[in-house]
Structure 1
Amino acid sequence: MNWRGVIRLIGILLTLYALSFIPPLLLALAYQDGEAPHFLAAWIISTAIGLAIWLPVRAERSALGYRDGFLVVALFWAVLGVVGSIPFIVGLHLGVTDAIFESVSGFTTTGATVIAGIDDLPPSILYHRQQIQWLGGMGVVILAVAILPLLGVGGMQLYRAEASGITKDEKLTPRITKTAQVLWSIYFALTLACTLAYWAAGMNLFDAVGHAFSTVSTAGFSTHDASIGYFDSLEIELICVVFMTLGGVNFAIHFVVWHRRNPLLYLRDPEVRTYLLILLGAILFIAISLLWFGTYTGVGEALRRSLFEVVSVITTTGFSTADFATWPRHIPLVLVMLAYVGGCAGSTAGGLKVVRVMLLAKMGVRQMFVLSHPRAMAPLKLGRRGVPEDAAYSIWGYYVLYLSTALVLTVAMMAAGLDLESAFGAVSATLNLLGPGLGDVATTFAAMSPLVKWLAIFGMLVGRLEVFTLLILFTFAFWRQ
């Protein structure tokens, strides 16, 4: 293990992240909301820690190895969660557990909260809360498209820059730094477009920026307790649906579309096609259910509510315009199933990812075919591309480990005092990075015990880091020389 190299990189990343406290500091000065000293303290503390970590090993230049990559990714997300909690501790006077929960929820783009009275928070705190989601979402995209494929995590090697459905003349630039620059440009462009659309639709500029941050990152924090429902605007909801859907698409595909200037290329990707078909089928099924059971009497209203909630859930954004927990009982279960599917690989969404669900289904069908035709050749394909057996085994292992983690966390939360519905809802909300759950955690985790909150924090990190990346650190083999 290259400890000096790992420490050096963490120090650099933390020092760079400290700069993110400057915008809310300036906002606090502009609004005179009393939070300027707290953001100044957060900036100084995080910069001092980053430099203290980096300076002793600044001359280290040796390359990081395979195992080092896992450790850097896991450590950095954990460190961000702690450092990002400083304004919540010194500004809102939250306890350490609540502050870290809120921070980790933002960085992992989960959107679960322990804060009540969001409308009354100081503007600078609201901005910080929205910003950590946006930064976390961008980090997730780089992680998913540029880093995890190199580590071969859970089938993500299918989405290497050289073989992610992008042909040789279309591929992302091979260097991670260049890839990151391209992804940043696309991410920023989507955020800017979303901001301008919200602003034109009637949001004030502050709300437009804040909600664009959480929409494109599919995170779900809002500047209002009532979420998007606060605005009660069909136009705003449709804008939100469009950009949530885009946030749930593989950013490598966004690059291809941008590079070729041809939106029809979205439909050439088998994962995107499946993603859109799942969306369409779920929207129609839930709208029909809402009409059938009389929850809404108008077709337009049923479609409006179904459209927004389905897109919000499958992209694991977690925005809401209606309380789906009060809908007919089968609908919340269908929505939870959609959250487990999640968005596309290489997107900011959580869940298992559509491509993994596709390949798991294909493996099941192939196995039945092989049982019927023992001597037949049955290659596994994604579109026109063959899927390597090692990637297929990795996906199967990912699925088993994902569901096993969900079951263990559900049992642990029940042991910590939650009933079955609430425990299942809490795990579904955190492991899938959805935010709102079921039962006692349908809207907030504020009343939960510290143990439940720490279990939820662990679940958010496991879900965000694609399971293997974090859990591998708990194995003896990883640390053995």
Structure 2
Amino acid sequence: MQYFVILRILGLLLMLFSFTQLVPMIVGWLCGDVDVTPFLKAFFVLLVGGAVAWYPVRSYSSELRLRDGFLVVILFWTVLGVSGALPLLLSKQLDISITDAVFESISALTTTGATVITKLDDLPRSILFYRQQLQWLGGMGIIVLAVAILPILGVGGSQLFRAETPGPVKDSKLTPRIKETAKLLWLIYFGFTVACAISYKVAGMNWFDAIGHSFSTVAIGGFSTHDKSMGYFESHAIDSVAIVFMLLSSANFSLHFLVWRKRSPALYFKDSEFRFYLYCIAAVTLTCIVYFQIGHFFGSISETVYKSLFQAVSMITTTGFTTAEYAYWPSFLPVLLIFSSFMGGCAGSTAGGMKVVRVLLLFKQGIREIIRLIHPSARISVKLNRKPVPDAVLQAVWGFFSVYIGIFVILMLLVMASGLDQVTAFSAVAATLNNLGPGLGDVASNFAPINDFAKWLLSFAMLLGRLEIFTLLVVLTPMFWRQ
């Protein structure tokens, strides 16, 4: 393990992150906030801390090994999650504990959207913008950003990129050079953000809300600048913009690139994963609409369709925006929406969950096993986009699924042991491990009422979900540390 090289990279990345503290400070100053010094103090602390880590090992430079890349990713997300809490702790308007500040910071950075902060409408603009900005940075992965704009690192970036990028197939590149791939992904990401912000403004938001919500929409984060989330605006036009960009951002960004390069939107519907994704969203939405219409839950069919479609898309994409108190919807619908978040978005997107492609492969593998019972001698291959999927990939998907469910069960039992009831514990773990945000029971509105032990466990769950389980668990195995 090349510890000096890892420390050098960590110091550089921390110094890079320190400059993000200046943006909310400027926004707060322009909006007339009384006190923006917490961000100035956080900037100097993080800059000096990064410099102290980097300077003694600045001359160490060599190619990263795979294990080095995993360790850099884990350390950076952990350190960043803790250091991102600094301005929240320093703010006099929040009066927040260390546990709550770290929870909020990790939730934002992992694009989970679970919050412990209430009365958002009364908070300074700088704090509100900072929460949205953290989500935006975490959406595509700040490690990818660093690899794209820090050639000064002097090390290969492929190991960082492989450890950071979500999905079962992580070695496919859009361009020959990994740095160019990272830049391309961020250009697409930035383009979606600009288009989303402009669309929100045209739909009726002011510029502050439009930019802030574009950050959390494209990042599939779910934080809002208002306590009522998207329900604050009571606008079908704004809901429609959110639905479109939640769907776009939860699709594979490599697919967006191919569509743009070949100028063929039809490629979306030729992709097996994206088609299956749309079918699942349509099925959940239709279920909600039919159930609401039978029970006459909403006043009109248009209201029923909008509420059902918005909440289904928001939950399946793991964004976590709300236009209604879905936790109090009738019968099985709240649990259905929570379960739908386990699937999450497509691989290579900013969404959480297990990823659509894994669920699709599990489904196809299940169908194959049923056919094998009928035709034991038949040679049947599982195909994705008309290409056979190697058995090694299928085994990896089954392994991921098993570990995912196992981790979920263990975390749920531990959270219940801390004193939470079954519904709250189930939904809290689902909301954090899937990077979803809102839950049921005591965490239907926010996570402030639960105990500190549960918050630390759920913070760990958020990191597990963001790094797709194995990236974090592999560092905890004794084999990883053997030479």
TM class by shorter chain equals over 0.9
Give a deviation string over 1:174-212, Cα, whole Å, max 9, x none: 322111110111011100000001111111100000000
Match of 2:168 among 156, 163, 166: 156
Q: Which consecutive residues of structure 2, in runs of 5 or more, have no partner in the other structure?
A: 146-156
Partner of 1:292: 294
Given the superposition, is the C-alpha separation of residues 42 and 393 from structure 1 closer, same or farther in structure 2, using an over 3 Å criterion?
same
Query: Superposed, which structure 2 residues align to 1:102-181 within 5 Å?
Result: 102-139=104-141, 142=144, 150=162, 156-157=168-169, 159-162=170-173, 172-181=174-183
Q: Is the CA contact 2:217–2:242 (under 8 Å) kept in the aligned structure 1?
A: yes
Given the superposition, is the C-alpha separation of residues 354 and 296 from structure 1 closer, same or farther in structure 2, using an over 3 Å criterion?
same
Partner of 1:88: 88
Partner of 2:399: 397
- Cα distance in 2 for residues equivalent to 1:221 and 1:151: 26
Give a deviation string over 1:411-459, Cα, whole Å, max 9, x none: 0010000000000010111001110001001111111110010011011
Higher mean C-alpha displacement, 430-439 vs 7-16: 7-16
Does residue 67 (structure 1) correspond to residue 67 (structure 2)? The answer is: yes
Deviation of 1:237 (Å): 0.3
Secondary structure at the aligned position of 1:379 is classed as coil
- TM-score, with structure 2 as normaliser: 0.94
Give the aligned residue type for 2:384.
L
Given the superposition, is the C-alpha separation of residues 358 and 137 from structure 1 closer, same or farther in structure 2, using an over 3 Å criterion?
same
Deviation of 1:249 (Å): 0.3
Match of 2:239 among 227, 237, 240: 237
- TM-score, with structure 1 as normaliser: 0.95
Q: Is the CA contact 1:154–1:468 (under 8 Å) kept in the aligned structure 2?
A: no
Q: Is the CA contact 1:432–1:460 (under 8 Å) kept in the aligned structure 2?
A: yes
Deviation of 1:147 (Å): 5.9
Partner of 2:203: 201
Give a deviation string over 1:287-316, Cα, whole Å, max 9, x none: 111111221242211111000000000010
Given the superposition, is the C-alpha separation of residues 9 and 102 from structure 1 closer, same or farther in structure 2, using an over 3 Å criterion?
same
Partner of 1:260: 262
- Cα distance in 1 for residues equivalent to 2:162 and 2:73: 13
Secondary structure at the aligned position of 1:174 is classed as coil
Match of 1:477 among 476, 479, 482: 479
Deviation of 1:28 (Å): 2.5
Q: Is the CA contact 1:290–1:327 (under 8 Å) kept in the aligned structure 2?
A: no
Give the aligned residue type for 2:78.
A
Partner of 2:215: 213
Given the superposition, is the C-alpha separation of residues 128 and 459 from structure 1 closer, same or farther in structure 2, using an over 3 Å criterion?
same
Q: Is the CA contact 2:429–2:461 (under 8 Å) kept in the aligned structure 1?
A: yes
Give the ranges of 4+ consecutive aligned residues of structure 1 lying more than 3 Å apart after TM superposition.
140-143, 145-155
Given the superposition, is the C-alpha separation of residues 418 and 49 from structure 1 closer, same or farther in structure 2, using an over 3 Å criterion?
same
Give the aligned residue type for 1:16.
L
Partner of 2:227: 225
Partner of 2:152: none
Deviation of 1:128 (Å): 0.5
Partner of 1:8: 8
Query: Superposed, which structure 2 residues align to 1:323-472 within 5 Å?
Result: 323-472=325-474
Give the aligned residue type for 1:76.
F
Partner of 2:149: none
- Cα distance in 1 for residues equivalent to 2:23 and 2:300: 45
Does residue 191 (structure 1) correspond to residue 193 (structure 2)? The answer is: yes
Does residue 246 (structure 1) correspond to residue 257 (structure 2)? The answer is: no
Given the superposition, is the C-alpha separation of residues 292 and 380 from structure 1 closer, same or farther in structure 2, using an over 3 Å criterion?
same
Given the superposition, is the C-alpha separation of residues 66 and 135 from structure 1 closer, same or farther in structure 2, using an over 3 Å criterion?
same
Give a deviation string over 1:322-379, Cα, whole Å, max 9, x none: 1111112211111011100111011111111100000011111112222332222122
Give a deviation string over 1:143-196, Cα, whole Å, max 9, x none: 9x9768845999622x5325xxxxxxxxx1132211111011101110000000
Give the aligned residue type for 1:22.
L
Secondary structure at the aligned position of 1:40 is classed as helix
Higher mean C-alpha displacement, 232-241 vs 12-21: 12-21
Secondary structure at the aligned position of 2:285 is classed as helix
Q: Is the CA contact 1:130–1:210 (under 8 Å) kept in the aligned structure 2?
A: yes
Deviation of 1:141 (Å): 9.6
Q: Is the CA contact 1:351–1:431 (under 8 Å) kept in the aligned structure 2?
A: yes
Give the aligned residue type for 1:161.
S
Secondary structure at the aligned position of 1:341 is classed as coil
Give the aligned residue type for 1:64.
L
Secondary structure at the aligned position of 1:263 is classed as coil
Partner of 1:168: none
- Cα distance in 2 for residues equivalent to 1:184 and 1:36: 29
Q: Is the CA contact 2:165–2:348 (under 8 Å) kept in the aligned structure 1?
A: no
Number of aligned pairs? 470
**Identical-pair percentage:** 48
Give a deviation string over 1:70-98, Cα, whole Å, max 9, x none: 11111111111111111100013311100
